[in-house]
Structure 1
């Protein structure tokens, strides 16, 4: 099991990134919450990881915080929630915001996430409520998104196109992703554009 990686961030094309560890490039998939918290290319990075082994692939997921990985692992144990949907949930809201939704029975907020219908939202609330009793309940009602990181360098020649591709990979339909990105050209990097689009979507 690969539980943690420390190395040089050599590529970042949301939702994918690559970390060079002693000459070996590890390709990981990460939530947008983690991606916007990463340093620029060429900088050192340390990530908590989760390895999923399938018949046709070994998939590695990276997380900036141990708590985010813990929530990911709890989510994929919920019936009907796989790694792709778990990453989409963690991309749309951070751990504190998710805990708040569960504790407040906020089905409406959860259904704003791609791939989460009413039944899935209700199942998440029921099954997740008892899975993090040791986590403190968020007290700040406005903390619905991750803290703003330092601006990141653009990850490609067309950050807006990269952002749209990343949103589609998370489960948003192309037309919806395009609407979410309208007017966000000035945000700069791909990660900043995605973060702004997700914040807009969660605000309704």
Structure 2
């Protein structure tokens, strides 16, 4: 079991990062809500991981804190919710929003997440209500709004940033045409791909 990685952040391609530990580069998929809080490429990062072994792959999912990882593990315990869908859920909304949806039976918001149909949303609400009691009032997944406006790119790289944003949304389960349309609507001059993804996700939930 790989539970924690501490090393040099060598690549950021949302929603995946590569962190080098002892000369080995680990590919880690992270919810975008955690991705926003990562340091810049070349700096040291500490990532708490959830290791998934399948017949065809070994996958690492990463989080900035143990609490974030614990919530992810609770979410994927729900019937019909695997790690990929858990990643999409915790990318599309903050922890407090998810808790609110569960506590207030908000099917309408949950079904906007790719891969979450009405039946899955209903199961999430039924199965998560007891598990989410006692999580507290803090929002585990919200980064400061300033992060959305930071890391601006030169204008010459704007198209690449939009492409990266679209690719990330597709990786999270959104259809390519929908992702491209939303990114084009939220994109602003010199906006980073991470900021575009944040705004696109906010507009779709």
Aligned mate of 1:189, from 181, 185, 192: 192
Question: Contact between 1:5 and 1:48, CA under 8 Å: does it hold in 2?
Answer: yes
RMSD, matched Cα: 2.0
What TM-score comes out, normalization by structure 1 length? 0.89
What TM-score comes out, normalization by structure 2 length? 0.89
1:114 is matched with 114
Unaligned runs of 5+ in 1: none
Q: Does the C-alpha gap of structure 1 residues 24 and 61 become closer, same or farther in structure 2, counting only changes over 3 Å?
A: same
Q: Secondary structure at the match of 1:61?
A: strand
Alignment of 1:31-46 (within 5 A): 31-46=31-46
Deviation at 1:136, TM superposition (A): 1.6
| Separation in structure 2 between the aligned mates of residue 9 and residue 144 of structure 1, nearest angstrom | 20
2:124 is matched with 124
Q: Secondary structure at the match of 1:18?
A: strand
Question: Contact between 1:67 and 1:95, CA under 8 Å: does it hold in 2?
Answer: no
| Separation in structure 2 between the aligned mates of residue 106 and residue 144 of structure 1, nearest angstrom | 19
Runs of 4+ in structure 1 displaced over 3 angstroms? 143-147
Alignment of 1:1-204 (within 5 A): 1-137=1-137, 146-148=143-145, 150=147, 151-152=150-151, 157=157, 158-186=160-188, 188-202=191-205
| Separation in structure 1 between the aligned mates of residue 116 and residue 65 of structure 2, nearest angstrom | 24
Deviation at 1:77, TM superposition (A): 1.1
| Separation in structure 2 between the aligned mates of residue 126 and residue 185 of structure 1, nearest angstrom | 37
Q: Does the C-alpha gap of structure 1 residues 164 and 87 become closer, same or farther in structure 2, counting only changes over 3 Å?
A: same
Deviation at 1:175, TM superposition (A): 1.3
| Separation in structure 2 between the aligned mates of residue 127 and residue 30 of structure 1, nearest angstrom | 24
Question: Contact between 1:93 and 1:146, CA under 8 Å: does it hold in 2?
Answer: no
| Separation in structure 2 between the aligned mates of residue 149 and residue 62 of structure 1, nearest angstrom | 23
Q: Which has the higher helix share?
A: 2
Deviation at 1:74, TM superposition (A): 1.0
Question: Contact between 1:37 and 1:149, CA under 8 Å: does it hold in 2?
Answer: no
Q: Does the C-alpha gap of structure 1 residues 132 and 145 become closer, same or farther in structure 2, counting only changes over 3 Å?
A: same
| Separation in structure 1 between the aligned mates of residue 8 and residue 142 of structure 2, nearest angstrom | 27
Question: Contact between 2:162 and 2:184, CA under 8 Å: does it hold in 1?
Answer: no
